[in-house]
Structure 1
Amino acid sequence: MVQLVFSFIDQVEKKKPSYVRTVKPNKFVSHGSWGHGKFVKSSDLEQSGPLEDDCSTVRCDIIVIREPRTAATTVPGASFVMVPPPDSSQHFGALLLGGKGADVRFLVADEAFAAHRCVLAARSPVFDALLFGPMKEGTATGNCIRIDGMVPQVFQSLLHFIYTDSLPEMEEQDKEASATMAQHLLEAADRYGMERLKLICEDILCRYIDVSTVATSLVLAEQHRCQGLKEACFEFLKSPKTLDEAMATDGFQHLAKSSPALFELMSKITGR
């Protein structure tokens, strides 16, 4: 776990920091980028004083957060060995990317994906039945299994989670894209019986509820039995002002037509 602290140094001699920005602790990875899309306004920078030789200094402190150790672990020689964290997810991720030993292929829209039967079956009861159970007809090695009702990017993210137990990285600033991907992945997780992925997506959607998405989230929660997401939507709609704004959206009108029972239940809970 690594935490980064960025600060603008306006007095280099005194090393006095200002405009400090901190990145929350996260697992360090060798790819991707760490930083801030917006660090300091130009106006604030100009007001901080004249720049020496038209230069400025940015300081970056890297804080490595290690697992706490108890005083009782005083085994002779233990301090000379540092056991790294598990790296099986990296190895399985490389296996997916490299395609070595892949024995099954999927066709999603017009894009093909290679995978490993044993990995898919171990992670999903639906894939287990599809590849090794009564549903396995037509899935012999060399055949391509067609996946309908899903876009390639979602299936790729689904495979990434199956192999690495994590979601692909996305830009933190693109909340709309993250919410949309979470919606599609939740549907895929429910389709393939992957409960942990379903709960992860449900948690993401709970944090992205707003006036424009609450109706869609309610329908999704009802269709896929997501009680936590449903309760989060009801909590969001408790405010009369928020409820009025949400009911004026096209999504809410569609909710009334597509799921009248849910709309009636929501009306009772909110008192409208």
Structure 2
Amino acid sequence: MANNSTSAPKHGQYLSKTTSRCVAGSVTAMHDFVVTSFSLIEGMGTGKFVSSATFTVGGRDWNIKLYPDGIYTEHKGYASVLLYFLKGAAGARVKFSLKLCLVDKSDQVSGTWTHTFDSIGGNGGCFTIKCVLTVVDDPHTQDVSASTVIVPQSKLHQDLSHMLKNGEGADVTFSVGAQLFPAHKCMLAARSTVFKAEFFGAMKERDDQCIKIDDMEPTIFEALLYFVYNILDKVADSRTKNGCSSDENTTMQHLLVAADRYRLERLRVMCEDKLRHGVDAQTVATTLALAKQHNCAQLKDACIRFIASRDILDAIMETDGFRHLEESCPLIREEISDKVATFRSREDESAATLVMQE
């Protein structure tokens, strides 16, 4: 009886195995072709077109051609839109999928077609042709017989955060309130010019092994350290140690002050952005005072815009927060009134422009 060539290996032998795989991919991109005056190009004649700029997707060049009066005489009364393949790899076939959308000036999608558009009509002719193009790469085979080396993602930010929490190698301690925070001078100096001067520059203190900070809450200093050691530049969740949510707005205000104090510009701007999106009637006065004190121009404008847009200037001026603001900035009432008048004037001009366009 003949031997079976596929018989299992004997004891002590290794089973040889090879593997390959088919790999296929695709690239998707979008190009907007804006037509500002269709009424001026309508009637240019059958077969006449206007073209978009050339754009590249999948290593190949394309453009969009708009025929206001159609490509052929039988298209009279219709505008045609075509996607043209201009150039790419010599002799290579191109496989792709295409979606064309017509969007009017109010960003409303009027319809989706693959060949021709219905007549645009007499809307004045401002619209956008959105082209979403997916180019499919030619499939190819990879030999994966050899062991694949999997490179793990970097966890440097986790290692640094653990080093902060564990206090390993710490060479300075901060006493904030009733809490102690061990830290590393080199890490702090690398992230903050203030810490750098304090530890290694002319500002260097004689006894810098333990530094006492009296004018900052422990939770704020802890959040600042978290940012310094987290190379992803994230802000720690604003929660107290017992797990209860703290006032996020107040936390961001204090953290902004701390960031400005230690020249952590990115953290300062992140706090400014959070405060800018969280402005309300109760906090706008104190937030405005903070913005002026720390030269946060965008935050200051956001506060004044909030007051102007809601017509609550008189009510805001009666709050304790605004009275405290006036004590430090006596001219703030006039400044706000001028700004409010300017904003309202711009809104009136914009409204008038829209009416004229309609």
Distance 1:271 1:157, change over 3 A: same
Ranges in structure 1 where 5+ consecutive residues have no aligned partner:
1-69
The amino acid across from 2:216 in the alignment is M
Match of 2:214 in 1: 148
The amino acid across from 1:107 in the alignment is S
Q: Do 1:222 and 1:262's aligned partners in 2 also have CA atoms closer than 8 Å?
A: no
Aligned to 1:161, which of 212, 227, 230? 227
The amino acid across from 1:190 in the alignment is D
The amino acid across from 1:181 in the alignment is T
Match of 1:204 in 2: 274
RMSD: 2.8
SS at match of 1:102: coil
The amino acid across from 2:225 in the alignment is L
Match of 2:324 in 1: 254
Report the more deviating stretch, 254-263 or 106-115: 254-263
Q: Pairwise mapping of residues 1-272 of structure 1 onto structure 2 (< 5 A)? A: 84-140=152-208, 143-164=209-230, 165-170=233-238, 177-239=247-309, 241-271=311-341
Shift of 1:76: 6.5
Q: Do 1:170 and 1:178's aligned partners in 2 also have CA atoms closer than 8 Å?
A: yes
The amino acid across from 2:307 in the alignment is L
Q: Do 2:238 and 2:245's aligned partners in 1 also have CA atoms closer than 8 Å?
A: no
Distance 1:93 1:72, change over 3 A: farther
Q: Do 2:238 and 2:246's aligned partners in 1 also have CA atoms closer than 8 Å?
A: no
Q: Do 2:252 and 2:275's aligned partners in 1 also have CA atoms closer than 8 Å?
A: yes
**Distance between the aligned counterparts of 1:186 and 1:255, measured in 2?**
18
In proportion to residue count, which structure has more strand? 2
SS at match of 1:112: strand
Distance 1:92 1:254, change over 3 A: same
Shift of 1:147: 1.4
Distance 1:211 1:82, change over 3 A: farther
Distance 1:146 1:83, change over 3 A: same
**Distance between the aligned counterparts of 2:176 and 2:160, measured in 1?**
22
**Distance between the aligned counterparts of 1:220 and 1:82, measured in 2?**
49
Shift of 1:166: 1.5
Q: Under a length normalisation based on structure 1, what TM-score does the superposition of the two structures give?
A: 0.66
Distance 1:117 1:206, change over 3 A: same
**Distance between the aligned counterparts of 1:175 and 1:73, measured in 2?**
52
SS at match of 2:308: coil
Q: Do 2:171 and 2:185's aligned partners in 1 also have CA atoms closer than 8 Å?
A: yes
The amino acid across from 1:271 in the alignment is A
Q: Under a length normalisation based on structure 2, what TM-score does the superposition of the two structures give?
A: 0.51
SS at match of 1:146: strand
Shift of 1:157: 0.7
Q: Write the deviation string for residues 47-95 of structure 1: whole angstroms up to 9, x where unpaired.
A: xxxxxxxxxxxxxxxxxxxxxxx96998876xx6665543211111000
Distance 1:98 1:73, change over 3 A: farther
Ranges in structure 2 where 5+ consecutive residues have no aligned partner:
1-135, 343-358
The amino acid across from 2:188 in the alignment is L
**Distance between the aligned counterparts of 2:143 and 2:261, measured in 1?**
52
Shift of 1:178: 1.1
**Distance between the aligned counterparts of 2:339 and 2:149, measured in 1?**
58
Shift of 1:152: 0.9
